[in-house]
Structure 1
């Protein structure tokens, strides 16, 4: 029986991956270390290697990451954790598959209407995007490890946090107000359950031909329209204001739409959950 190690199993994305793996018919032991067991934000490579040597995984999934914070926090949470796991795997689990969650922010701003393909130049201009690109480059360049980096676009759905624009809007609406930042950007929203499906497929796919794969819906939707739909689902009838400051993570990219052809070619994956269903699940 194979062993799958899932880091970040209690987070927004990791929780869905854990649920999907728990119901997967393929025989596998699932190990989900928490921070009390092994804190990847403070552990050294030797401690991680000792843990992996004891568990002997065939797959290591990294759903640990940071969406906000200073430059050092973002790099430690996104690129640093990836570097730590790759270094430990090289000595303790060199034959295991490694899958990390990256971000569409790695691309940086693109022209309006452009569909972002994995071969496009990556030119992030935010610390968040740069930190994720560094993690993806480590996966691409570390040939000793069989690794994949999934560039996740804008995940939404059950368990969403206020770090996401729709999660923030939901919390404000629950409090009886909706003072948000500018909502004119076009975003590729993908359901977190679809993301989990892509992660599980990446864990089991045999000899993937590519190391970087977009995970999105393939559709660009105005954030303003998504917020209006959320208001309808929540029964919010107040005024939606766009007077707050834009998010430093996403404000620099007014357009985002994924080319998901590679995900189908490599993983046999396509998004299946409509945005309306995602919003209903989160509301």
Structure 2
């Protein structure tokens, strides 16, 4: 099975590619902006025709889209998180319509919960900022594409190499800077959002 992992040099993509390589019979191709990528693609800027040509050449059975931006201005977030998945779907319909698409969404698409109303997977989407809104736009592009596709909404992944733009990475960086100062936790900001 040929599996193309987009965003394979990012935090989640690197972990996903590593795990997929351990599967018997899996041939993992990496896609992204790295010179070492098997498929050279920047989802924020690539044209559908270019990506379709690259996908036809790679001939994946499955595409796992881990590409995304967690920080930056609204334009950057929209280019990567909304435009990227839409272009990917259009290119897949043209070049590899039978390929399975696994797209990483975000729990931020749901918006915040409260202690009385935790957020579940069946909750309505109510993103409160550009990140959640752009990830939701990407999810809509994938789920309405007509492809064999699934969206996995990820919430606060924790592990080695966590980026400083996400909550776990921000906490780790703050605690590293603070050393033994217990007041550092107060600088994290509002942590009242709840997800079930």
Partners of 2:121 and 2:163 in 1: CA distance = 27
After superposition, give the CA deviation of every residue in 1:112-163 in whole Å (9 maximum; x if it has no partner).
24332332211112111100111111122122x1111111111111111211
Task: Number of aligned residue pairs: give it.
Answer: 191
Please name the residue that 2:194 is paired with. 256
Is the 1:101–1:152 contact (alpha carbons within 8 Å) kept by the matching residues of 2? yes
Q: What is the match of residue 100 of structure 2?
A: 97
Q: What root-mean-square deviation, in Å, do the aligned CA atoms of Structure 1 and Structure 2 show? A: 1.8
Cα distance, 1:32 vs structure 2: 0.3
- Structure 1 runs (4+) deviating above 3 angstroms are 241-246
Q: Structure 2 unaligned runs (5+)? A: none
Task: Tell me the secondary structure at the aligned position of residue 101 of structure 2.
Answer: strand
User: Are 1:171 and 2:185 an aligned pair?
Assistant: no
Asked whether the equivalents of residues 113 and 255 of structure 1 are also in contact (C-alpha less than 8 Å), the reply is no
Q: Distance in 1 between matches of 2:61 and 2:130?
A: 32
Larger radius of gyration: 1
Change (3 A) 1:108 1:172: closer
| TM-score for the superposition, normalised by structure 1 | 0.63
Change (3 A) 1:243 1:257: closer
Name stretches of at least 5 consecutive residues in structure 1 with no aligned partner: 178-235, 259-283
Change (3 A) 1:111 1:123: same
1:132-281 aligned at under 5 Å gives the runs 132-143=135-146, 145-175=147-177, 177=178, 236-241=179-184, 244=187, 246=189, 254-258=192-196
Deviations 1:145-202 (A, max 9, x none): 1111111111111111211233223223333x2xxxxxxxxxxxxxxxxxxxxxxxxx
Distance 1:113 1:155 in 2: 24
State the alpha-carbon separation in 1 of the partners of residues 32 and 125 from structure 2: 32
Shift of 1:244: 4.4
Whole-angstrom distance in 2 between the partners of 1:59 and 1:100: 11
TM-score (norm 2): 0.89
> What is residue 75 of structure 1 aligned with on the other side?
78
Q: Secondary structure at the match of 1:255?
A: coil
Change (3 A) 1:55 1:162: same
Check whether the contact 2:44–2:80 (CA below 8 A) recurs between aligned residues.
Answer: yes
Counterparts of 2:172 and 2:121 in 1: how far apart (Å)? Answer: 32
Match of 1:31 among 29, 32, 35: 29
1:40 aligns with 2:66: no
Note the alpha carbon deviations across 1:35-80, whole angstroms, 9 max, x for none.
1422222111111000011111110111110111111111111111
Q: Counterpart in 1 of 2:13?
A: 14
